[in-house]
A = this chain, B = another copy of it.
Amino acid sequence: MAASDPPSKARERRGRPQPAARDDAEREAGAPGWKQDPDAVRRNILETARRAFVDKGLSGARIDEIAAGTATSKRMIYYYFGDKEGLYRAVLEDAYMRIRRLEQSLDLAALAPIDALRTLTGLTFDYHADNPDFVRLVMVENIHHARHLKTSQSIGALNHMAIGMLADIYARGLEDGVFRAGIEPIDLHLTISALSFYNVSNQSTIKQIFGHDMAQQDARGRRRATVIETVLRHVCVVEADRSEANG
C-alpha cells in the first residue's frame, strides 16, 4: 500500500497521517509556506460537506461541489474519509457529538422542577432553532431509515441523556406534588422534541402553504413561549406560574 493510497481503517487506526494544509490566511496572502494542520483540513472539509448534505441531501450533494468549496481538494476528501458515505457519516457523528457535549454541560439539579422543565424545554427549542443544520441532517438520516446511525461506531450507544435528565426532573416534580403522575419520560421527551423539531424541519412547506414564516424573530419568540407553556400544561397538576416563559 503506497503512501498516497486512500487511508484504510487499519491505516487510520495505526496512526494519524500528517498532511500539510495551507492556512486560509496564508493561502490568500500567497505565502510560500504552510502550516501542517490536518485537523484544520478535516474540519474545513467536514464543515463544507455538512453544508452540502444539509442543503441537498445525501444523494443530492456532489463530491465535486464539496471539494470546490473546501480550501483543499477532492483528493484530500478521499484521503481522510474514504468515500462519500464515510464523509457523510463523519458529518453526522460530528453533529451528534456536539449536541451530546451540550447535554453533558447542563446541570438543572439546582432548579425547582417546574423551572428546570421550563429551562430544558426552552434550551431544546433554542438549540433546534439555532442549529437548522442539525435538524436537517436528522431529516436526511430519517429519509435513509437511520441506516448510517446504525452502522456508526461512535453514535451506536449514544442513548441521549436528555431522557435521564427529564426522568430526574419529573421524579422531583412528582415528589413535590407539582407534576401529575402517569407520564413517561420518553413521552415527555417526544413532545418537547417534536414541538422544537417541526418548527425548523417544516419551515419551508409551512411558509409556502400558510404564508407563515416561522424563522421570523417575533414568530419564533411567540412560538417558543407557546411550546414551553404547552409542555408545562401537559405535566403540571394545576396551571402553575407560566405567565412569561423564559429559558
User: A194-212 CB contact bits vs B (8 Å, 1 = yes)?
Assistant: 1101110111111111101
Closest Cβ neighbor of A234 among chain B residues: B230
Instruction: Please measure, in the bound complex, the distance between the C-alpha atom of A209 and the C-alpha atom of B92, giving whole angstroms.
Output: 13
Please tell me the size bucket of the interface on A.
35 or more
A132 to chain B minimum Cβ distance, whole angstroms, is: 11
Q: Does A160 contact B (CB under 8 A)?
A: yes
B191 touches A226 (CB 8 A): yes
Interface residue? A141 (CB, 8 A) = yes
Residues of chain B lying within 8 A (CB to CB) of residue A205: 138, 141-142, 146, 149
Asked if B191 and A230 sit within 8 Å, CB to CB, the answer is: yes
CA separation between A199 and B142, bound complex, in Å?
12
A113 within 8 A of B: no
Across the two chains, which residue of chain B brings its CB closest to A150? B208
**Which of B149, B190, B210, B222 is the one whose CB lies under 8 Å from A199?**
B190
Interface-facing stretch out of A13-21, A37-45, A51-59, A104-112: A51-59
Whether A199 and B194, one on each chain, are in contact in the complex, defined by CB atoms closer than 8 angstroms, is yes
How far does the Cβ of A25 sit from chain B's closest Cβ, in whole Å?
33
- When the two chains form their complex, are residues B149 and A143 in contact, meaning their CB atoms are under 8 A apart? no
- Inside 8 A of A149's CB, which chain B residues have their CB? 204-205, 208-209
Smallest distance from the beta carbon of A61 to chain B beta carbons, Å?
Answer: 8
Q: Would B212 and A186 count as touching, CB distance under 8 A?
A: yes
A71 at the interface (CB under 8 A from B): no
- The answer, yes or no, to whether A145 is at the interface (CB within 8 Å) is yes
The reply to whether B202 and A138 form a contact with Cβ atoms under 8 Å apart is: yes
Task: For the complex formed, measure the closest distance between the CB of A123 and the CB atoms of chain B, giving whole angstroms.
Answer: 18
User: A68 at the A/B interface (Cβ < 8 Å)?
Assistant: no
Residues of B within 8 A of A203 (CB): 142
CB proximity of A199 to chain B, nearest CB, Å: 7
Residues on A close to B: CB < 8 A?
56-60, 136, 138-146, 149-150, 155, 158-160, 163, 186-187, 189-191, 193-195, 197-199, 201-210, 212, 214, 222-223, 226, 229-230, 233-234
Kindly list 15 other residue pairs between chains A and B, CB separation below 8 angstroms, not including A60-B143, A187-B223, A194-B194: A139-B143, A142-B203, A145-B204, A149-B204, A155-B209, A158-B209, A163-B210, A186-B212, A190-B206, A193-B198, A194-B195, A195-B195, A201-B201, A233-B233, A233-B234
